Structure 1
Amino acid sequence: MELPRTTVIRSQFLVLLFDWLARNGAAETADAIRHELELPQEGGTLVKELTVPLSSYRTASELAATRTRDAFIGLHVARDLPRGSFGIVEFAARSAPDVEEGFNRAVRYLRLLSETIRLELRKFGGEVALVHRIPGEPLCVGRQGNEFTLGLFHAFLRELTQSDAQAKRVEFAHPAPDDVGELERFFGTTQLLFGAGRNMIVWSDSILSLPLVSHDQGLLPWLDEYARTLLPPDSALDQRIPGLHEQIRQCLQVQTVPTLVEVARRLRLSTRTLQRRLEAVGTSFQAELESVRVELAEWYLRDPKWSIYETALLLGYADQRGFERAFVKWRGITPKEYRRTHPSTS
């Protein structure tokens, strides 16, 4: 379901941006932007935040970039972030034993920071990706916020593993800037895609097992317990059928037809119970299967190693024609046209 046009977002980034400006001799610029956009007072306790319309979030960060003549200000804030800026979410991730567990905690506890943003960890064919998006908002949080977010995760990866890990490719929701050199240097790749409708950073899945130097085996259970007590309720679908999309993905990845019966078996539910729970939240198994298929289809179509025919088979279609018809229904263009307008990033 798409969000209303007047999307409101809780933003830690704007607070961090204004603090960064103050530390770098531009406090007057920060104050002027606050006044000009009539931004509210900061809220929150341990983690400071502003609750603003998404349009104000984007405008404030672009004004900061323009007035400081720093086109990559979002990336620079991420690079210089003070430890503990994201409170319990950050410390739980930092205390995890390895990269995978750290990322999983960031995904799991994100709702403590934002009800609007979605963060997902995806694994396909030797790669792992963090996907950052806002449903119904193809620009996501705007250029500076997008670059801040992906820069933040990449910087954390390098800091906490004490490695020079390189991204394989990076996708941004916003249009391409005139100069991408600093982004290429920061992420360690020339494979950048813009206008992707969401933000995504892809690494080799070998990074997942890298140990975190900040791992704290004694503290981690306490942080997890506290974070869980703070979490708001899951979405209606997640509450009723936790793991539904993950089981559909797993079926497709092992070339098992993801039928209602098979997914119910994997979830240890009866077929009737699964169907009843789907109906209770206003959806159907077919609708959720299509949601997963379109997500995977876009992934495979951006990777030139998969032909359209192979993509069809990977998604559980008997032939290419059936997949092409479905994709036109989802996106209004053919898979071939999608591949042409979303060039390879590998």
Structure 2
Amino acid sequence: MTPPDSVLLARFVLVRARAAGVDAVELARAAGIGPGALDGASGSVPGQCYPRLWELFERQIEQPQVGLLAAERYGMGELGLMDYLVATAPTVGEGFRAAAEFGSRLTTTRRMDVVADTERHLTVAAATTAEGRGAELAAQASFAFLVSRARLAAKAPIAPAAVTFRQPAPRHHAAFTEFFGTAAIEFGADADTLTLHHADRDRPQPGADPSLAAVLRRSAAVATLSTPPARAWVDLLAAEFDSLPLATVTPDDMARRLGISARTLRRRLAAAGTSWSRELAGARGRALG
């Protein structure tokens, strides 16, 4: 089982899925997340659920640039404390640094670092332990969020100097060029990176508030991710059941898929007030229904 991500990340995807006409509750269940992810409560979800949400969302709407589309509808405060850390920074570049430094307060499975800061450019790189299409879409969304947040905070049409993605080149690039405002986009790269021109890096943000920023930084420094609620393990188990041959699956098989021991699996099921046999019976009922 991967470490947790903030439920805010999952909610970010689910809210957009619902706006696009997708059944967000069903999407959450398919990703292994309980319906509580939509109700505004704080907490965490298993780390593999966030990229899985992106992948399932893309399948539903058949849009390979779904990460970009989601950021276009971004609303202030959706990512909690990090939004305000970015918005109250004195410059766009410092906002990027805040996002990189405190992004780990939302997730333990992905990170962003400032990898270069010169007289000409500032470059951030995103890295994740996840693989596959969901991770590619999450990288899209991360950079789209940064650019959208910077444009909103600076009240300027900021266009990166360059963007690189590990994902293979899509059939059509127009959506990426249009969103980022540059044709300097490389696919199939070694890393996911975004580079700002020095003029944009140093651009002041009208909403900068040094006093508030200092308070927020102190709060962020002690913020921690809570353990995923017990029910989240059961929802994740249900999603795995639905993709397996139920006649032969065993607790050991399932534990290996989830990256935990069979003993830990039984303990988490007990903590959620259920059992292996009960969840297996539920899976069989869903398969018949």
Compute the TM-score of the two structures, normalised by the length of structure 1: 0.58
1:190 and 2:212 matched: no
The 3-state SS of whatever aligns with 1:225 is helix
Q: Is the 8 A contact 1:138 1:197 kept in 2?
A: no
Alignment match, 2:127: 133
Q: In structure 1, what is the Cα distance between the partners aligned to 2:185 and 2:122? A: 16
In the alignment, what sits opposite 2:17?
21
Consecutive unaligned residues of structure 1, counting only runs of 5 or more, are: 1-5, 233-346
1:154 corresponds to: 147
| Mapped partners of 1:208, 1:47: distance in 2 | 35
Q: List per-residue Cα deviations over 1:233-285 (Å, max 9, x = no partner).
A: xxxxxxxxxxxxxxxxxxxxxxxxxxxxxxxxxxxxxxxxxxxxxxxxxxxxx
- In 2 relative to 1, CA 49–173 (structure 1 residues): closer, same or farther, beyond 3 Å? farther
Query: Higher RCO, 1 or 2 (CA under 8 Å, sep at least 6)?
Result: 2
Q: Which residue of 2 aligns with 1:34?
A: 28
Match of 2:68, SS state, is helix
Aligned position for 2:163: 170
How many angstroms does 1:19 deviate by? 0.8
Given that 1:167 and 1:187 are in contact with CA atoms closer than 8 Å, whether structure 2 keeps it comes out as: yes
CA distance in 2, matches of 1:58, 1:218: 35
| Aligned: 1:217 with 2:213 | no
Give the match for residue 58 of structure 1: 51
Backbone CA RMSD of aligned residues: 2.7
Whole-Å Cα distance in 1 between the matches of residues 87 and 160 of structure 2? 20
Q: Are the equivalent residues in 2 in contact too, given 1:169–1:203 (CA < 8 A)? A: yes
1:152-301 equivalences in 2 (<5 Å): 152-230=145-223
Q: Is the Cα contact below 8 Å between 1:139 and 1:198 reproduced in 2?
A: no
Name 2:272's counterpart in structure 1.
none
Deviation at 1:152, TM superposition (A): 0.6
- Cα distance, 1:87 vs. partner? 1.3
Q: Is the 8 A contact 1:13 1:145 kept in 2?
A: no
The answer to whether the 8 A contact 2:29-2:35 is kept is: no
**Counterparts in 2 of 1:100 and 1:14: CA distance versus 1, 3 Å:** same
SS in 2 for 1:219: helix
Instruction: Tell me the alpha carbon deviations over residues 271-327 of structure 1, each in whole angstroms, 9 at most, x when there is no partner.
Output: xxxxxxxxxxxxxxxxxxxxxxxxxxxxxxxxxxxxxxxxxxxxxxxxxxxxxxxxx
Distance 2:99 2:41 in 1: 15
Cα 1:61–1:183, aligned 2, differ >3 Å: closer, same or farther?
Answer: same
The code of the aligned residue for 1:153 comes to L
Amino acid paired to 1:31: V
Distance 2:30 2:222 in 1: 38
Structure 1 residue 110: Cα displacement: 1.6
Please report how far the alpha carbon of residue 14 of structure 1 lies from its aligned counterpart in structure 2 after TM superposition. 2.8
- CA gap of 1:173–1:13, structure 2 versus 1, over 3 A, is farther
1:71 aligns with 2:72: no
Gaps of 5+ in 2: 226-289
1:120: how far off? Answer: 0.9
Q: Equivalent of 2:136, from 143, 168, 177?
A: 143
SS at match of 2:117: strand
Distance change in 2, residues 1:68/1:209 (3 Å): same
1:109 aligns with 2:102: yes
1:10 aligns with 2:5: yes
Kindly provide the amino acid, as one letter, of the partner of residue 72 in structure 1: Q
